[in-house]
Structure 1
Amino acid sequence: MIPLKSANNLIVDTHFDRVFERLQKSIKYVLKNGCKYKKVRYTPDATERAFLNTLKQKIILKGLVTASPERLQLLRRYMLKRFPHIHLNTNNLNRLLYKIFVLDAYSTLDKHSFIAKLDTDTCSYCNRNYIYSLSKSSKIKPELDHFYPKSLYPYFGVSFYNLIPSCQTCNGLGVKGELDPFSNEMVSPYLTKDDDYKFTFDLTKLDYLSPLDGSSSVDVILLKQIDGNVQIFKLDELYKLHNDHVLELVVKAEVNYTARYREYLNNYKGLTFSDAEIDRVLISNYTSLNELHKRPFSKLYRDIALELGLIV
Structure 2
Amino acid sequence: MIPIKLPNNKIVDIHYQGICSYFSIGELNSISHWLEPYNLTFERLIKAKPDELREIKKEIKSGQYANWESNEIPELFKDTYSSFSKFSKNQYCGANLVANLQIKVCPYCNRTFINNFDKDGKIKRSSQIDHFFPKGMSKYPYLALSFYNLIPSCYSCNHSKGTKKIDKSPYELSSSDDALHFNIKFPKENGGYNLDNVELTIDIEEEFNMNVKHLGLKSLYKNHNDVAREIWLKGKAYDESRIKELLTTFPDLFESEKEIAQIIMGNYLEEEDLGKRPLSKLTRDIAREVKFIK
TM bucket, shorter chain: 0.7 to 0.9
CA offsets 1:33-74 (integer angstroms, 9 cap, x no match): xxxxxxxxxxxxxxxx9951738x9x8111100112222122
- Following superposition, the deviation at residue 203 of structure 1 comes to 1.0
Q: Percent identity?
A: 31
Does the 8 Å contact 1:26/1:100 carry over to 2? no
Partner-residue secondary structure (3-state), 1:22:
coil
2:55 is the counterpart of 1:68: no
How far apart, CA to CA, are the structure 1 residues paired with 2:36 and 2:272?
41
How far apart, CA to CA, are the structure 2 residues paired with 1:94 and 1:149?
19
Residue in structure 1 matched with residue 103 of structure 2 by the alignment:
120
Equivalent positions of 1:181-260 (< 5 A) are 181=166, 186-194=167-175, 195=177, 196-204=179-187, 214-225=194-205, 226-254=208-236, 256-259=237-240
User: Relative to 1, partners in 2 of residues 1:269 and 1:63: Cα closer, same or farther, differing over 3 Å?
Assistant: same
Does the 8 Å contact 2:133/2:143 carry over to 1? yes
- Following superposition, the deviation at residue 251 of structure 1 comes to 2.0
Does the 8 Å contact 1:200/1:303 carry over to 2? yes
Partner-residue secondary structure (3-state), 2:172:
coil
* Paired amino acid for 1:156: L
Does the 8 Å contact 1:216/1:243 carry over to 2? no
How far apart, CA to CA, are the structure 1 residues paired with 2:225 and 2:133?
32
- Following superposition, the deviation at residue 22 of structure 1 comes to 2.6
Does the 8 Å contact 1:149/1:178 carry over to 2? yes
User: Relative to 1, partners in 2 of residues 1:271 and 1:52: Cα closer, same or farther, differing over 3 Å?
Assistant: same
Residue in structure 2 matched with residue 180 of structure 1 by the alignment:
165
User: Relative to 1, partners in 2 of residues 1:250 and 1:216: Cα closer, same or farther, differing over 3 Å?
Assistant: same
Partner-residue secondary structure (3-state), 1:165:
strand
Does the 8 Å contact 1:120/1:294 carry over to 2? yes
CA offsets 1:230-250 (integer angstroms, 9 cap, x no match): 000110111111000111122
Residue in structure 2 matched with residue 4 of structure 1 by the alignment:
4
CA offsets 1:253-289 (integer angstroms, 9 cap, x no match): 44x2344541233212224423432221121111110
Does the 8 Å contact 1:261/1:282 carry over to 2? no
User: Relative to 1, partners in 2 of residues 1:169 and 1:66: Cα closer, same or farther, differing over 3 Å?
Assistant: same
CA offsets 1:55-111 (integer angstroms, 9 cap, x no match): 8x9x8111100112222122122223xxx6449xxxx97742332112024423421
* Paired amino acid for 1:158: L
* Paired amino acid for 2:147: F
Residue in structure 2 matched with residue 146 of structure 1 by the alignment:
131
* Paired amino acid for 1:224: I
How far apart, CA to CA, are the structure 1 residues paired with 2:80 and 2:209?
35
Residue in structure 1 matched with residue 158 of structure 2 by the alignment:
171
Equivalent positions of 1:100-139 (< 5 A) are 100-109=76-85, 110-135=93-118, 137=122
Point out where structure 2 has 5 or more consecutive residues left out of the alignment.
86-92
Residue in structure 2 matched with residue 37 of structure 1 by the alignment:
none
Partner-residue secondary structure (3-state), 1:171:
helix
Point out where structure 1 has 5 or more consecutive residues left out of the alignment.
32-48
Residue in structure 2 matched with residue 77 of structure 1 by the alignment:
58
Worse-superposed segment, 261-270 or 140-149: 261-270
Out of 96, 110, 114, the position equivalent to 2:72 is 96
User: Relative to 1, partners in 2 of residues 1:215 and 1:96: Cα closer, same or farther, differing over 3 Å?
Assistant: farther
Does the 8 Å contact 1:102/1:157 carry over to 2? yes
Partner-residue secondary structure (3-state), 2:158:
coil
- The two structures have a TM-score, normalised by structure 2, of 0.82
Greater C-alpha Rg:
1
- Following superposition, the deviation at residue 202 of structure 1 comes to 1.6
Q: What's the RMSD between the two structures over aligned residues?
A: 2.8
Does the 8 Å contact 1:204/1:217 carry over to 2? yes
* Paired amino acid for 1:307: E
